[in-house]
Chain A
Amino acid sequence: MKLNVNNRQHDVDADPRTPLLYVLRDDLKLNAAKFGCGLGQCGACTVLVDGEPVFSCVTPVALLAGKAITTLEGLGTLDDPAPIQRAFIEAQAAQCGYCIPGMMMRAQALLQKNPHASDTEIRAWLEPNLCRCGTHLRILSAIHRAQAIMRAAQAGDAG
Chain B
Amino acid sequence: MRTTRFAIVLCVLLALAAVVFGFAASEPAIAPIAPPPTASFDPALVQRGAELAAIGNCGVCHTAPGGREFEGGVALPTPFGTIYSTNITPDADTGIGAWSEAAFLRAMRNGVRRDGAYLYPAFPYDHFTLVTDDDDKALYDYLMTRRPVRSMPPDNALPFPLNVRLVMFGWNLLFLRQGPYRADSAHDDTFNRGAYLADGLGHCGACHTPRNVLGAEKVDGKFAGGEAEGWTAYALNASSPAPVPWNADTLFQYLHRGFEQEHGVARGPMADVTGDLRSVPDNDVRAIATYIAAHMPSTGTAQQAAQRPELQTPRGTAVAAASADSQAMRAAGGNGDEGAAIYAATCAGCHEGPRAMPYGGIDLAFSSGVSGPSPTNLINVVLYGLPAAAEARNPIMPGFASALDDNQLVALLRYLRGRFSGKGPWNEIERSVHDARNGDGQRPAGPADSARYNPAVPK
Using CB atoms and an 8 Å cutoff, list the residues of chain A in contact with chain B: 16-17, 39-41, 49-50, 52-55, 58-60, 62-64, 67, 110, 120-121, 123-125, 127-128
Contacts and interface: CB of A to CB of B under 8 A. Distances in A.
Nearest to A121: B458
Given A16-B341, A58-B398, A63 B403 contact: yes
Interface in B339-384: 341-342, 344-346, 349-350
A49 B402 contact: yes
Given A40-B385, A123-B455, A52 B402 contact: yes
B364 to A, nearest CB: 17
A55 B385 CA distance: 12
Contact of B388 (A41, A53, A110): A41
A63 B402 contact: no
Given A17-B345, A59-B403, A127-B455, 5 more contacts: A40-B398, A54-B400, A55-B403, A60-B345, A63-B345
Contacts, number: 57
Nearest to A123: B455
A33 to B, nearest CB: 14
A94 B398 CA distance: 25
Contacts of B342: 62-63
A125 B405 CA distance: 21
A120 B455 CA distance: 9
Given A16-B341, A62-B341, A63-B345, A124 B458 contact: yes
Nearest to B350: A39
Interface of B: 341-342, 344-346, 349-350, 385, 387-388, 396-398, 400-405, 408, 454-458
A128 B458 CA distance: 11
A125 B458 CA distance: 6
A85 B408 CA distance: 33
Contacts of B405: 67
Given A16-B345, A40-B398, A53-B402, A63 B408 contact: yes
Nearest to A117: B458
- 8 smallest beta-carbon distances between A and B, as pairs: A40-B398, A52-B402, A60-B345, A124-B455, A17-B345, A62-B345, A59-B403, A54-B403
A41 B398 contact: yes
Contacts of A60: 345-346
B456 A124 contact: yes
B342 to A, nearest CB: 7
A54 B402 contact: yes
Greatest chain A CB density within 10 A among B346, B388, B401, B454 is at: B346
